[in-house]
Amino acid sequence: MSLTLFVDITVGGLILGGLYALIAAGLSLQYGVARVLNVSHGEFIMLGALATYSLYTLFDINPLISLVITGPIIFAIAFLIHNTFFQRLRRASESIGEFEGTSLLASFGLLFIIQNIALLFWGPDIKGYTYFDKQVNLLGAIYGANRIIALLFAVGIGLGFYFFLVHSRFGKGIRAAAQDVNTAQLVGVNIHRMLGLCFALGALLAALAGSLISAMFELTPFMGLPYTIIAIIAVVLGGLGNILGSLIGGFILGIIGNLVTYLHPGLSLIAYYAIFLLLLLIKPTGIMGK
């Protein structure tokens, strides 16, 4: 295998992996802490992507800058959704198991709602824009600069998030809450605020990933679900409830996916599902799980 090919597959895998890591971390926050397996996660990605698209095509706002606009708005929306709907559901549920089930179903409803509002707003046609797609040559492999930038941003956000989780007080609180809500409360973590914040943070990561995606891929209101599925698989791969694990899971999936696409296009989704099912049957607790 030539060096070019190797770089091609590796860098491609890292780009995909970086994106998947962000998306997976977002879902992991929502499930690990707030206990909502949010199947509408991909719709927040879509919102971030389409919002960035609109800001660029209508107002000429740099996609990288628009992160600053779209991010907080989606954060706020998600925070509101959690504190009105999911918190109410949680209070009405007799057990955490029941809440996980009903919140899963409620997030399906959310999926329909968000997707169809986006459909009304943006229409079903495929959209896209080109931004900064100057060619960059890496050891013989050629990439659009936008992809490299997206990779750098994804890695940057990912690393920043990782350090935040490991070294900051708030981040440690999040990881504690994801592991054991009751004990976390005992050591002083304000759980009620934490749930909503983590849910919103998860949506924020999704929106950021969406913005990065918008510069690289085609966009439609239907683009969300495949990413949600990948996020779920990555989260399980890393270990349900383990946020750091989801970052790793996302990266692994991205690299494998890119490799499979290279070997036989069209098989990547099947590969993801096959890995997923085998994982559940053999080691459902994932890589980092006990």
Partner 1 sequence: MISARSLFFSRSARTFLPILILVLLATAPVYASLYTLISLSNVFMYIVLTVSWAVFSGPSRYISLASAAFFGIGIYVSAILGNVLPFPVVVFIGGLLSFLVALLVGLSSLRLRGMYFTIFTFGLSELIRHSVHWWEVNMTGTVGRWVVAVDQTIVYYAMLIIVMMTVLVAYTISRSRLGFALRGIGESEDAADHMGVSVNALKIITFAISTFFMGTAGAVMATRWTYIDPSIAFNPLFSFMPVLMAIFGGIAQIVGQIIGATALTVLADILLTKFPYYYMLSYGVILVAVILFLPGGLMALQAPMKNWYERSFVK
Binding residues (CB under 8 A) for partner 1: these are 37, 85, 88-89, 92, 97-98, 100-102, 104-106, 108-113, 115-117, 119-120, 229, 232-233, 236, 240, 266-267, 269-270, 273-274, 276-277, 280-281, 284
Amino acid at 212: L
3-state secondary structure of 164: helix
Sign of the alpha-carbon torsion through 219, 63, 163, 8: positive
CB 175 within 8 A of CB 243: yes
Q: Please, which residue, 28 or 115, has the CB nearer to partner 1?
A: 115
- How many C-beta neighbours within 10 Å does residue 148 have? 16
Least distance from C-beta 277 to partner 1, angstroms? 5
Residue partners of 143: CB distance under 8 A and separation at least 6: 11, 135, 136
Least distance from C-beta 99 to partner 1, angstroms? 11
The beta-strand segments (E) located in 63-176 are 135-138, 141-144
Least distance from C-beta 197 to partner 1, angstroms? 22
Q: Can you tell me the distance from the alpha carbon of 47 to that of 61, in angstroms, rounded to the nearest whole number?
A: 16
Least distance from C-beta 49 to partner 1, angstroms? 20
Least distance from C-beta 29 to partner 1, angstroms? 16
- How many C-beta neighbours within 10 Å does residue 155 have? 17
The C-alpha R_g of the chain, in whole angstroms, comes to 19
Reading the block at residue 10, the tokens are 């590796």
Distances 200 to 61, 78, 79, 163, 193 between C-alpha atoms, Å: 24, 5, 5, 19, 11
Q: Please, which residue, 124 or 188, has the CB nearer to partner 1?
A: 124
Reading the block at residue 187, the tokens are 């050591």
Q: Please, which residue, 115 or 258, has the CB nearer to partner 1?
A: 115
Q: Please, which residue, 4 or 87, has the CB nearer to partner 1?
A: 87
Q: Please, which residue, 151 or 233, has the CB nearer to partner 1?
A: 233
Least distance from C-beta 269 to partner 1, angstroms? 5
Q: Please, which residue, 96 or 186, has the CB nearer to partner 1?
A: 96
Q: Please, which residue, 117 or 138, has the CB nearer to partner 1?
A: 117
Least distance from C-beta 130 to partner 1, angstroms? 30
